[in-house]
Structure 1
Amino acid sequence: MSDERVQRRLAAIVAADVVGYSKMMGRDETGTLARLKALRAEFLHPKVTEYDGRIVKTTGDGTLIEFPSAVHAVSCAVDVQRGMADRNKNLPPEHQIQFRLGINVGDIIIDEDDIFGDGVNVAARLEALAEPGGISVSSRVYDYIHGRIDVLFDDLGEQAVKNIAEPVHVYRVLFSERAAAKSREETRSLPLPDRPSIAILPFVNMSGDIEQEYFADGITEDLITALSRIRWFFVIARNSCFAYKGQSPDIRDVARRLGVSYVLEGSVRKAGNRVRVTAQLIDGSSGNHVWAQRYDRDIQDIFALQDELTEMLVGAIEPEFGKAERERARAKCPDDLRAWDLCQRGLWHTYKRTRQDLVEAQRLFREAIEIDSGLARAYAAAEEAFFFQYVGGYVDTGGAAKADALRFAERAVELDGLDAFNRYALGRALTLVRRHDAAVFELRKAIELDPSFAQAHYALSMALATGGHPQEALPHIEVAMRLSPQDPYFGQFLVRKAEACLFLGRLEDAVESAERSLHEPNIQWSRWAILAAAQAHLGRLEDAHRSIDALRSLRPEIDLAFTRDYWPIADPDAISYLMEGLRKAGLPECL
């Protein structure tokens, strides 16, 4: 046997990468290399030495660093990112250098001066998940440093990463004053509503089959919808509830952050034609169980099971609710379970909102309609998927496509006008074709049917603001943000608020809301457009030009002609004011 043994040790690994390096090199290769080389020599390398670290290697725009402890690694990373922000303050955008940093603690293999192993690989994957100027760490790093360093953390949950067998639990480090303030705002307790309030966490799929994930999600969504129809309930919206998917949070923290009295959690195990659903209703203030139950049913009884769960919940939270109110929570069931199954699969894909998922969702909704042409929800869901395709820029934005979406939504309301989701879908479709008065009517009807429907309040605010009533829009966007405070698309709520403020001439408020929206995930180009227009009207032309540059990095082909045609604004004064601001900001009339 060889006397050589593989050398291993436990270390904290930092993977660093320059944001937009290829673009910078394409613009100014010599200057970029010189600036990066100077930055490493004058700032990065001394900072690493200060925290007892070792530069393992540099590869183009990448740097691999080893530290003896997680505390040293994160402390150094925070100092580096803060220092980079200071260095970039007075530099033009094209000369600014930003890092993404990923940190992991793990076993590494030493080969002369180089290191290898999963500990290194995970750090590299974490770096790719970090925001520009940000830091992502693994749960092992979090466990080592939590409470030892004066920073805050944002739990991003488990993330599937390339070439790593198991999902990695990721935390974002909040080290800037703005990020820390945002975290404190998010964790601040919300006041309880004056009626019974509840959040329903995503039911856990216990089937051991990822293909059944849609089924567990469907049970959760049906229960949210059913409870929302009871007017005396304050029900947290679907998107904020699903922000906790894949996590095991402290229920008391969930209740505090969402501002509810009760939290429902549960699981679904499906095997063949049998399904087992367990549910626990928990007091949000104490964490004590109020009620728990297990249901074993044939799959054909799934709608009766939903009704039974809803009735039990109502009885546990508000005993004086009578049979009449419980009956309102009954959803209309499709005639064919296969159609319902396809519709649930389609919704599962819809909420992922990627180009491929939305195409698959449309296919599933149309297949469901072929099986059951009376399934109203499938028509409305097809319009929902189209709307996301439209705002994402994935489909034709012409009149024919919008008319097709409108036809589907109208059919949904014809089949079931008492379903708030159907009215909401029709309202959004009408907004896109600039029939704002009709859109407002449908969206008000949706809210009348389901007062806790956050997306309907959001859609109504959009229809009002773009239809010439921005002042009336603001209360509805505030309600949407209260109903869904952890919404993954909370940034869209903020940009609707910015839009209404812009049209009202409240330019400072418009800038504030638009800037806040850009710190939320799932950024869409409209956020930069509103910000640029407001900045230009305020005379902050340098800021406005930078916002236009950011806008065009997301949508290179954009011009005023496209924006005028795309944005469903019926009020001539509002569209003129928006176009004037964008023109001042530097957006051309036509490319």
Structure 2
Amino acid sequence: MRSKLMAILSADIVSFSSLMERNVAGTLARVKTNVAKIVRPKVKKHGGRVFKSMGDAVLAEFPSALAAVKCALDIQSATAASEETQPDQDRLRYRIGINLADVIPDGDDILGDGVNIAARIQSLAAEGCIAVSSSVAEQVSGKIGATLEDLGVFKVKNIARPVHVFGISGGHSHTAEAARPAPAANTERFVSICVLPFVNMSADAEQDYFSSGITEDIITDLSKISSLSVVSRNTAFSFKAKGLQVSQVARQLNVTHVLEGSVRKQNQRVRITAQLIDGKTDGHVWAERWDRELDDIFALQEEIASAVAAALRLKLLREERLAIAQRDTQNVEAYETYLMARQYYVASNMTDARKSEVVIRLCKRAIELDPTFARAWATLAIAQRLAAYAGRNADYEGKAAAERALALNDKLTEAHAAKIGVMISAHAYDAAREALVGALTLDPNSYELNKEAARLAFQENRYQDAIKHFEKAALQDSDYSSLGMLMTCYDAIGDKKGERLAAERTLARVEPIVAREPDNGSALSFGLGALAILGQADRAKEWARRALLLDPDNLNMRYNIACAFIANLKEFETGLDILEPVMKGFSKARLDYAKSDPDLAAVREHP
């Protein structure tokens, strides 16, 4: 049976047994009426389907997390209004839990852990309130007119991995108070931490790639500790250079601790400072400084993770110690070269094939230094596929490098993303979809996997799914291309408010880049699309003129500019003129993408 990404809503009547004891017939009749006149119509209104109803409980599926949450808010509001005339102790109130996960349709039923987790989350909701998983919270934040409260991380019955739960409260009477429950039976709260990006204190600002890489590896190491909940890399890096106090970060993320630090690299020596701060008291729990030879960097990373665990009074299991000690390279020069490639890959958005070539050169050098370096192979594969996709070099597609990366480390998300990217380019959509289901269980927040999941969904015209994954990818603080794609996705589903918001976010992200790099054609092309949506046509055209003068051979840039002229400015002939050289230079995979792009719908039959 093929799995499918769905939002699952689990609703249950509070204190149903007590209500039944007081009035069996009356309670059953009121519950039946509530389900028939409120729950089912609200589910249908928001595009969902009730797939199981069991007296006091209802399970429903939705195509998106946003639809499920809006439905839950409607159900709670309508139920509260319908029960106003009842004595307080006799009122029907729901606890509602929502989870977003890959589940397995089985006839009219739906199976899988995703359903079970929704039910467990529901049990953690306060009376008359809504609790959601972190995957749902990420999708609906800022879109529902209600506030999200981080309730913490819980170990729930029969589910191996801890579940990060958020409460939703809004203007309705049933959610106005804090939706924080007491821990339910079979739950256990974990210590949580956010590792803020370590500050680059080197004399050379170009060394920022090194401090970022060190931070990412510390996050990865700490994530291997089962009793510690670690904020994802994308969320942590969203606070970079924001100037927020550590206490503000702790409150915003509701974490118990924050780790901050700095890195100074000079010649063959490195100095790292780190301090652990209590999120509640803002007090220093622990601080340390290390001065080492660069050759000791891997042992130092292991030492930092172990020191943080000790300061948090966490006991490391033997397998966790071994996992933290494991490195995919022991070659310092290979590691440093890879970090350069990684930073360039993330910062450049890889929308220009020439930039892909830079990443390819760096990864090949890292592999020369250490042929068993899996992450270098994976990033090489991604860069090769992107270069071939844009028509820059048809001699390679990344398949061999991806398979080599997987052979070296089959748990590496970047390697899976590289292989899936090759599948998508080869139109092996079913295989790519199946591979994504398994790969995303390794890390649902993986930047690379979410980019590929979004690309697949976009090419299959599954725009709601594409939005979910582009939103996750856009948490990467330097990724403006995912935000740019969100403009198209929201437009495709007729969500003008979402499209405008995506345009505002895109412009906010590209304007500082354009200010630093006036010749960045890629950033200009996404920015001018945002300007066109926001009604700034003259400025959009000026950005287009500048981009085409500075970078006329950038095919991806020209494609994006053409889309803006066609879809947003409605200047079809101009758009087609800009598009003409693109269609001659693009790869077959890129042309296939263009065939399904809704931005070009208006000119698809153009002579």
Category of TM-score, reference length = shorter chain:
0.5 to 0.7
Which residue of 247, 266, 274 corresponds with 1:279?
274
1:434 maps to 2:445: no
Cα separation, 1, equivalents of 2:469 and 2:440: 10
Partner of 2:459: 466
Aligned partner of residue 351 in structure 1, secondary structure? helix
CA distance in 2, matches of 1:255, 1:186: 23
Change in CA separation of 1:309 and 1:545 when aligned onto 2, cut-off 3 Å: closer
Letter in 1 for 2:367: I
Worse overlay, 230-239 or 414-423: 230-239
Superposition map of 1:174-573 within 5 A: 191=150, 193-194=152-153, 195=164, 196-230=191-225, 234-246=229-241, 248-257=243-252, 260-317=255-312, 319-320=314-315, 322-353=317-348, 358-386=356-384, 395-396=390-391, 400=394, 403-467=396-460, 476=469, 480=472, 485=475, 487-489=477-479, 492=482, 495=485, 499=489, 502=492, 507-509=493-495, 511-519=496-504, 520=506, 521-522=509-510, 546-549=568-571, 556-557=578-579
* CA deviation map 1:520-544 (0-9, x unaligned): 23468689999999xxxxxxxx997
Q: Distance in 2 between matches of 1:212 and 1:529?
A: 32
Aligned-pair distance for 1:329?
A: 3.8
Deviations 1:164-209 (A, max 9, x none): xxxxxxxxxxxxxxxxxx9999998763542554332222233323
**CA–CA distance in 2 between the matches of 1:364 and 1:492?**
24
Do the aligned residues in 2 keep the contact of 1:216 with 1:267 (CA within 8 Å)? yes
How many residue pairs were aligned? 382
Q: In 2 relative to 1, CA 344–487 (structure 1 residues): closer, same or farther, beyond 3 Å? A: closer
CA 485–348 in structure 1, closer or farther in 2 if over 3 Å, else same: closer
Match of 1:556, SS?
A: helix
**Structure 1 residues 518, 229: CA separation in 2 closer, same or farther (over 3 Å shift)?**
farther
Tell me the residue number matched to 2:542.
none
CA distance 1:405–1:554, shift in 2 (3 Å): farther
2:411 aligned partner, one-letter code: L
| CA shift digits 1:204-258 (9 cap, x unpaired) | 2333234533322221122233334556655444444444445543123334455
Alignment check: 8 A CA contact 1:280 1:291 kept: yes
Provide the alpha-carbon RMSD of the alignment.
4.6
Matches within 5 A, 1:24-39: none
Question: Does the residue aligned with 2:292 lie in a helix, a strand or coil?
Answer: strand
Three-state SS of the structure 1 residue aligned to 2:291 is strand
Shift of residue 475 of structure 1? 5.3
Q: 1:259 to 1:587 in 2, by over 3 A?
A: farther
Compute the displacement of 1:440 (Å).
3.1
Tell me the distance in 1 between the aligned counterparts of 2:483 and 2:253: 16
Change (3 A) 1:550 1:450: farther
What code does the residue aligned with 2:501 have?
Answer: R
Distance between the aligned counterparts of 1:296 and 1:266, measured in 2? Answer: 14
In the alignment, the residues of structure 1 paired with residue 219 and residue 572 of structure 2 have an alpha-carbon distance, to the nearest angstrom, of 37
The separation in 1 between residues aligned to 2:203 and 2:256, in whole angstroms, is: 32
1:266 to partner: Cα distance: 0.8
Alpha-carbon spacing, 1:493–1:269, altered in 2? closer, same or farther (3 Å):
same
Shift of 1:259: 5.6
Q: Secondary structure at the match of 2:150?
A: coil
What is the CA-CA distance between 1:282 and the residue it aligns to? 2.2
Query: Which residue identity lines up with residue 383 of structure 1 in the other structure?
Result: A
Separation in 1, partners of 2:385, 2:254: 30
Q: CA deviation at 1:344?
A: 1.5
The one-letter code matched in structure 1 to 2:372 is G
Quote the Cα distance in structure 1 between the aligned partners of 2:494 and 2:382: 33
How many angstroms apart in 1 are the aligned matches of 2:577 and 2:195? Answer: 37
- Report if the CA contact (8 A) 1:243-1:486 is conserved: yes
Amino acid at match of 1:367: R
Tell me which amino acid in the other structure corresponds to 1:426. Answer: K
Deviation at residue 494 of structure 1 after TM alignment: 7.3
AA at the equivalent of 1:582: L
Deviation at 1:279, TM superposition (A): 0.9
1:293 is paired with a residue whose SS is strand
Opposite residue 488 of structure 1, the aligned amino acid is S
Distance 1:249 1:515, change over 3 A: same
- Report the 3-state secondary structure (helix = DSSP H, G, I; strand = E; otherwise coil) of the residue aligned with 1:396: coil
TM-score in terms of structure 1 length: 0.53
Question: Post-superposition shift, 1:359?
Answer: 3.7
Partners of 1:272 and 1:498 lie apart in 2 by 46
Question: Which residue number corresponds to residue 122 of structure 1?
Answer: none
In structure 1, distance between residues paired with 2:604 and 2:361: 37
Partner residue in 2 for 1:582: 600
Q: 1:500: Cα distance to partner?
A: 8.4
Which 10-residue stretch deviates more, 227-236 or 438-447? 227-236
Over 3 Å counting, the alpha-carbon distance change for 1:530 and 1:280 in structure 2 is: closer
Displacement of 1:460? 2.2
Q: Share of identical aligned residues, percent?
A: 29
The alpha carbon displacement at 1:345 in A equals 1.9
Partner of 2:63: none
Alpha-carbon contact 1:262-1:284 (below 8 Å) kept:
yes
Change (3 A) 1:455 1:287: farther
Distance between the aligned counterparts of 2:591 and 2:229, measured in 1?
31
Unaligned 5+ residue runs, structure 2? 1-140, 154-163, 165-190, 511-522, 534-563
